[in-house]
Structure 1
Amino acid sequence: MRKLPVIFLLMILFACSEKESTVEKHGYVSKTPDLSAGVMMPEILWSFGRVGGAQVSPGGENILYSVTYYDIEENKPYNDIYSVPVEGGEPENLTRSTSNESGAMWRPDGKKIGFLSAVSGSTQLWEMETDGSRPRQVTEIEGGISGFKYSPDGTKIFYIKSMKLDESVNDMYPDLPKANARIESDLMYRHWDKWHDYTYNHIFVADYSDGKVGEGKDIMEGERYDSPMKPFGGTGQIAWSPDGKTLAYTCKKKTGKAYSVSTNSDIYFYDMETGETTNFTEGMMGYDKNPVFSPDGKYLTWESMERDGYESDKNRLFVANLETGEKTNYSEGFDQNAHNLSWSSDGQTIFFISNIHATDEIFKLQLTDRKIERLTDGIHNYQSVEQAGDQLVAQRVSMSHPADLYSVNPESGEAQNLTSVNDELLGAITMGNVEERWMETTDGKQMHSWVIYPPDFDPNKKYPVLLYCQGGPQGTVSQFWSYRWNFQMMAANGYIVVAPNRRGLPGFGQEWNEQISKDYGGQNIKDYLTAIDEVAKEPFVDKNRLGAVGASYGGFSVYYLAGHHDGRFSAFISHDGMFNFEQMYSTTEEMWFVNWDIGGPFWEKENEAAQRSYSFSPHKYVQNWDTPILVIHGEKDFRVPPGQGLAAFNSAVLRDVPAKLLYFPEENHWVLQPQNGILWQREFFGWLDKWLK
């Protein structure tokens, strides 16, 4: 009986929202921003609906997906679940509530939709009819869950629950309940943006029958490991076999220092009948993750990297014959990465996403002849792909258009819109032109760059130019749509943007991608200067008004350029950039990154590669700084700890260089809260306008 008020509350929320046409059409909608400027503004950017989580129904007729809107005044997101026919038609908001529903999933029989909601006080599994009616809470698991999947035969589910296995100070000293401290004896005590909370993600399996869930069994009982892996892993790292007898899951079964220096995750098989777990990828030393069974259960495909400790190694497409145990690398001879793998309904083809020359495209692998074909070609990024009947359903984005869902012909690659979530806002603003350019580098190679022009660009005028420095460092400058580093926002503020795919970025072969490791102050810096120098030759560019901006590795690039730019630039902005490599090595959390890319610790004086890397540390060249710089950093950034930004800002001030610090106590390596995001944009352009206009 205690569940009834909660059920009634959710039903009332759904029912009430049906009465308002604007809510019924869009779910939660924040206030319409001021569109009078006719170009991108921070408030417009944060008003776009964000599409995600597409999933095709068992019969292939409909697609579930989510749309998230941010309320700027409340400084929080609202998420609704939608459906749209695969053949096209009017999308339907299934939840239409002021609570947040997520993780939507078709029940295998197609008769109900499962989803996550915290309306009861903790996140639990709920189900509703396929039209969104009759929501009902299914689980009542202490502490809540963070994800789930039905087994293909509909007789079981797995769910993810956080299990406390380590002692806190208060557990160790119960007579000191107000003591606030940590006691550590090994690494990985914090990761990305959170201190370890003494808990681990564990997978539970339970019997399921028409909305009733039995007692869950922890298949990782007592293990101090996470599946899905933290901080970004989701249920895509776990897969049911078609017969429901096997659960494949991704896990890195290491702790402390061993975890911090390794990228060796594996795929494990849990046998539902015997309760035994086996390491299916034992001996494969890099990342192995995201398993997907073929429809007939005879094969398994997954993403695999070869080398332990190298997080940007080639992401290979592996397939295993589960009857013979043979594992085959289908990426041999394919000098690109493979992501987001999915099977065709007949089990003969694997569709996947791969970056090629700065766009993310759909490819397909024919198993019978090992042939890989490219399906799509355009100025866009595809982010996911799944077969639906005789079509593919894919999510697509570009620098000029936030994500929408598309129907893609699996033979021709032709695409048609299934959703148009942001057409109203997009129709009210003018975007700048996006142009591709190829440039010759200082070592005689060809480098791809994007050039983005202001709306209503006039070649007879003179414009300031921004050099965009990408992070990663191995993160491609593709057709991404960013809610912070948004090129159309920069263009709307009157800047030409040049965004080069300098050395160290994927999509141009593994040799190009790997060159940057242990060469941070080398060829890629020359590539940056090539890009800005080439664009600066144009008659519409004001050479006296050039700026350089970037985050993470891009933030390092800005700090390094500040000491080596020979007067090219008049303003710099560095967000969460590396400033002091020795300090960075000693304080970051994932040691595999600095070990591989820098080459090792600073105390290894005989390690020539490492010592060369430390010679590139920007703090060694502060004596050359003479250009105004804005430093931005987040307190919860444990990848590039906040001391890096504070040291850079302090050094600039002590050098009498015009400087400003924008510091976010509640943000991590990114900026995720709406009002902080808008503040970021205002300070970003305020600084650039002051020195470049």
Structure 2
Amino acid sequence: MDKISILACAMVASTLSFAQENPNMRVKRPVTTNKVYQLKKEVLTPEKLWELGRVSAEGLSADGKWLVYGVSKYTFGENKSEKNLYVIPVKGGEPVQFTQEEGGESVVQINKDGEIIYLFKGQLWSKPLGGGEAKQLTDIEGGLANVKLSPDGKQILFSRAVLIHPYHSKDKYSDLTKSDVYIYDDLDYRHWDTFNDGRFNHPFIATYDNGKVGEPLDILEGEPFYSPQAPFGGAEDFTWTPDGKAVLYVCKKRFGKKYASSTNTDIYRYDLASKVTTNITEGMNGYDTHPVYSPNGQQLAWLSMKTDGYEADKNDIIIFDKATTQRKNLTAHWDGTVNSYIWSKDGRKIYFTAPVRGAVQLFEVELPKNSARNTLSKITQISEGEFDIAGIVGEVDGGLIVTSTTMTRAAEVYRYDFKKKTLVAITKVNDDIFNHLAETKVEGRFTKASDGEELFSWVIYPPDFDPSKKYPTLLYCQGGPQSALTQTYSYRWNFQLMASQGYIVIMPNRRGMPGWGVKWNEDISKDWGGQPIRDYLSAIDDLAKEPYVDNERIGVVGASYGGYSVFMLAGVHEGRFKSFISHCGLFDMTSWYGTTEELFFANHDLGGPYWDKNNTKTYTDFNPITYIDKWNTPILIFQGGRDYRVPIGQGLAAFQAAQLKNIKSRLVYLPEENHWVLSGHNALVWQREFFGWLQETL
């Protein structure tokens, strides 16, 4: 049997297997018809997606010649991921596996002598860059997290959870050890996916000598504040001063209702000798995060948002100059928002990433020679292309080491060459899989929005796309609502996977997304159901004019604000769509305001509480529940049981309404998942239900 015949049999078998696992699925997609035998490559499947290694850049050697990176591999049978570290020459070569122990290692620092210090099972370990025996450095009860070693290596900064308030009955009533009750007198009673048990992450400092850790000192002793930030802060919230005499930490020193209603994190300096704490961002009212000293230690940079309560505000780079004691906003005059940054090796500029026109690119900002002068800093975009720069690892001669993705390639580590303006792959963890996948072409497309503005969308096409045929099409609605829709690679909302099942997918950069100017980004606030929804309709109406779009098979999918958009469109689409899928969508804005945890977000984007008459439009015209009388289209609803951002009542209420209206509908309840889907087995159920529903309804 020839290779093409073998491939045809394998693909048919794969398709039948997928159909057997999804008994309601109709096998009728272009990639599973009688043209299958012509495909010389595989199509991406949910199972294949979970075979990909997830690459993380861990650090560079001091001489810039070696990269340490991590790869997480998922094991289906055990339903868990295993991460190991690898070492590879920056200029290219074969990787060497650095760790093999079961667990998950992450690099803390790479010393000048080539020693790699890493965290493994909550303890510090070390091992030479060139290989050898691993040495356990610490054995601390309870383990370590978010570790930063002092410049001289004689002290250690780390975090651990400390019981401050006995919210949990077992802590409040020691004789009732089998009880499971939470008692609250204020807000911040739950966050993201966890109820507050009265324990707060605090920064600790201790002496460190050949693995011996002295008695830790709690910098925030007795205070009900989080550092690192909850729920996603990490080691980037800590840093040592260059002389090792003080530490900086990020903290939102608010409690209760004030904590739930504010984004005012500040950067604090704790002096080890005097034990005095100073707020170095006093008067800066939004998020202040990610403090990093310049290579010579004379300047401090951090990221800053201006407005308290606005989590998606313009993110600027601020520097403080020790010599002049002046603070300067380097990016204030620039019409964009910063994702992440690093200092150049010579300290004369800062490299940063930012979304721009549907992708995340590299920029540089030159530091003024005299920061006290009121001069504008020169900002230059230094990369361009249909890819995202997901992060910057460090600078090497003639370039930067970065991580990068596209919609059809998962993250790998690359060298960006300044002169050639090209990305050269260093890691190639997933090449073998991607090289055997059928191409899914991605193109940009501009549409006139209803108000005359230019609206950009990404469009991805199925393998072997034939413009003379008609294809089912999906409108993808992004969450956030101020999240950029760029050349990212997702392991759930994977556009390559959707296209590989035979769908055209359009992904509009509607109002509210960064990358198109600050105003475009801000225009969604207090207008959730207005122009952004009209942008979605404009984009799909324009694409639907193409002869290859089957107008009888157009669906809408999305999560979070995207799920809200699905619910809104279900009531206003006027027959455009034949199927809807919403994951963790907001269905009733009134009940959502009463149960979500980060009230600063709701107060800024909705205008405030439902009892304030100034916000009537938000809770009526822009409330999906207002249009339930017009619902008449099949809808699938995913809902996580531990989603406290968009709590369970939203999905249940939407499903119940659809059922009582006798609309074909399905609820997929994931009791142990939060706003996302993290378990591999659950994710595969999610994918199978997702595509099975589309097969049934499109």
Aligned: 1:289 with 2:289:
yes
What residue number does 1:56 align with?
A: 60
Aligned: 1:374 with 2:381:
yes
What residue number does 1:104 align with?
A: 107
Q: How far apart are the structure 2 equivalents of 1:241 and 1:108? A: 18
How far off is 1:273 after superposition? Answer: 2.8
How far off is 1:215 after superposition? Answer: 3.0
How far off is 1:455 after superposition? Answer: 0.7
Structure 1's consecutive aligned runs of 4 or more residues displaced over 4 angstroms after TM superposition are 33-37
* Matching of residues 508-587 of structure 1 within 5 Å: 508-587=516-595
Does the 8 Å CA contact 1:564/1:624 hold for their aligned counterparts?
A: yes
What residue number does 1:601 align with?
A: 609
Q: How far apart are the structure 1 equivalents of 2:123 and 2:262? A: 34
* Matching of residues 161-560 of structure 1 within 5 Å: 161-167=160-166, 168-368=168-368, 370-385=377-392, 386-560=394-568
Does the 8 Å CA contact 1:107/1:150 hold for their aligned counterparts?
A: no
What residue number does 2:44 align with?
A: 40
Amino acid of the structure 2 residue aligned with 1:124: Q
SS of equivalent residue, structure 2 residue 594:
helix
What residue number does 1:67 align with?
A: 71
What residue number does 1:685 align with?
A: 691
SS of equivalent residue, structure 2 residue 42:
coil
Does the 8 Å CA contact 1:447/1:500 hold for their aligned counterparts?
A: yes
SS of equivalent residue, structure 2 residue 572:
coil
Per-residue CA shift, 1:431-467, capped at 9, x if unaligned?
3100001111110100110000001101111101000
Does the 8 Å CA contact 2:60/2:110 hold for their aligned counterparts?
A: no
Aligned: 1:634 with 2:637:
no
Q: How far apart are the structure 1 equivalents of 2:245 and 2:57? A: 26
How far off is 1:107 after superposition? Answer: 4.0
Amino acid of the structure 2 residue aligned with 1:68: S
What residue number does 2:81 align with?
A: 77
How far off is 1:364 after superposition? Answer: 0.7
Q: How far apart are the structure 1 equivalents of 2:418 and 2:234? A: 27
Q: How far apart are the structure 1 equivalents of 2:395 and 2:269? A: 26
Q: How far apart are the structure 2 equivalents of 1:37 and 1:633? A: 35
Q: How far apart are the structure 1 equivalents of 2:126 and 2:198? A: 31
Does the 8 Å CA contact 1:375/1:411 hold for their aligned counterparts?
A: no
Amino acid of the structure 1 residue aligned with 2:581: I
CA RMSD of aligned residues (A): 1.7
* Matching of residues 638-653 of structure 1 within 5 Å: 638-653=644-659
SS of equivalent residue, structure 1 residue 680:
helix
What residue number does 1:95 align with?
A: 99
How far off is 1:345 after superposition? Answer: 1.2
Q: Quick one: percent identity of the two aligned structures?
A: 46
Amino acid of the structure 2 residue aligned with 1:196: N
What residue number does 2:626 align with?
A: 620
Match of 2:681 among 668, 675, 679: 675
Does the 8 Å CA contact 1:598/1:614 hold for their aligned counterparts?
A: no
Amino acid of the structure 2 residue aligned with 1:379: E
Does the 8 Å CA contact 1:382/1:395 hold for their aligned counterparts?
A: yes
Amino acid of the structure 1 residue aligned with 2:628: V
Does the 8 Å CA contact 1:106/1:114 hold for their aligned counterparts?
A: yes
Does the 8 Å CA contact 1:375/1:412 hold for their aligned counterparts?
A: no
What residue number does 2:119 align with?
A: 116
Amino acid of the structure 2 residue aligned with 1:384: G
Amino acid of the structure 1 residue aligned with 2:305: M
Per-residue CA shift, 1:96-140, capped at 9, x if unaligned?
22x12322133433332121222xxxx222222223432222222
Q: How far apart are the structure 1 equivalents of 2:154 and 2:616? A: 54
Does the 8 Å CA contact 1:116/1:147 hold for their aligned counterparts?
A: no
Per-residue CA shift, 1:572-624, capped at 9, x if unaligned?
0000000000000000000001101111111112x1x4544443111111110
Does the 8 Å CA contact 1:588/1:638 hold for their aligned counterparts?
A: yes
Does the 8 Å CA contact 1:138/1:213 hold for their aligned counterparts?
A: no
Does the 8 Å CA contact 1:286/1:306 hold for their aligned counterparts?
A: yes
Q: How far apart are the structure 2 equivalents of 1:404 and 1:130? A: 21
Matched length: 653
Q: How far apart are the structure 2 equivalents of 1:320 and 1:231? A: 28
SS of equivalent residue, structure 1 residue 253:
coil
Amino acid of the structure 1 residue aligned with 2:127: M
Give the TM-score normalised by the residue count of structure 1: 0.92
Which runs of 5 or more structure 1 residues have no equivalent in the other structure?
1-32
Does the 8 Å CA contact 1:379/1:398 hold for their aligned counterparts?
A: yes
What residue number does 2:141 align with?
A: 142
Per-residue CA shift, 1:230-284, capped at 9, x if unaligned?
1111101112222222311111011111000000000111223322211000110
How far off is 1:671 after superposition? Answer: 0.5
Which runs of 5 or more structure 2 residues have no equivalent in the other structure?
1-16, 19-38, 370-376
Does the 8 Å CA contact 1:516/1:523 hold for their aligned counterparts?
A: yes
Per-residue CA shift, 1:136-175, capped at 9, x if unaligned?
2222222112221222332222112121222131232223
SS of equivalent residue, structure 1 residue 420:
coil
Does the 8 Å CA contact 2:165/2:198 hold for their aligned counterparts?
A: yes
SS of equivalent residue, structure 1 residue 587:
coil
What residue number does 1:654 align with?
A: 660
Q: How far apart are the structure 1 equivalents of 2:397 and 2:152? A: 20
Q: How far apart are the structure 2 equivalents of 1:220 and 1:108? A: 30
Q: How far apart are the structure 1 equivalents of 2:236 and 2:439? A: 35
SS of equivalent residue, structure 1 residue 632:
strand
Amino acid of the structure 2 residue aligned with 1:525: I
Deviates more, 1:294-303 or 1:53-62: 53-62
How far off is 1:637 after superposition? Answer: 0.4
How far off is 1:181 after superposition? Answer: 0.9
Per-residue CA shift, 1:655-686, capped at 9, x if unaligned?
00000011101100000111111111110010
Aligned: 1:665 with 2:662:
no
Per-residue CA shift, 1:70-108, capped at 9, x if unaligned?
1111111100011222222212210022x1232213343
Give the TM-score normalised by the residue count of structure 2: 0.91
Does the 8 Å CA contact 1:547/1:569 hold for their aligned counterparts?
A: yes
Does the 8 Å CA contact 1:518/1:613 hold for their aligned counterparts?
A: no
SS of equivalent residue, structure 1 residue 275:
coil
Q: How far apart are the structure 1 equivalents of 2:40 and 2:172? A: 60
Amino acid of the structure 2 residue aligned with 1:538: E
Inter-CA distance 248–36: structure 2 relative to 1 (3 Å threshold): farther
SS of equivalent residue, structure 1 residue 595:
helix
What residue number does 1:24 align with?
A: none
SS of equivalent residue, structure 1 residue 556:
helix
Does the 8 Å CA contact 2:288/2:302 hold for their aligned counterparts?
A: yes
Q: How far apart are the structure 2 equivalents of 1:229 and 1:282? A: 18
Inter-CA distance 236–610: structure 2 relative to 1 (3 Å threshold): farther
Q: How far apart are the structure 2 equivalents of 1:156 and 1:108? A: 15
Does the 8 Å CA contact 1:579/1:647 hold for their aligned counterparts?
A: yes
Per-residue CA shift, 1:313-344, capped at 9, x if unaligned?
00011111123321111112211111221111
SS of equivalent residue, structure 1 residue 563:
helix
How far off is 1:626 after superposition? Answer: 0.4
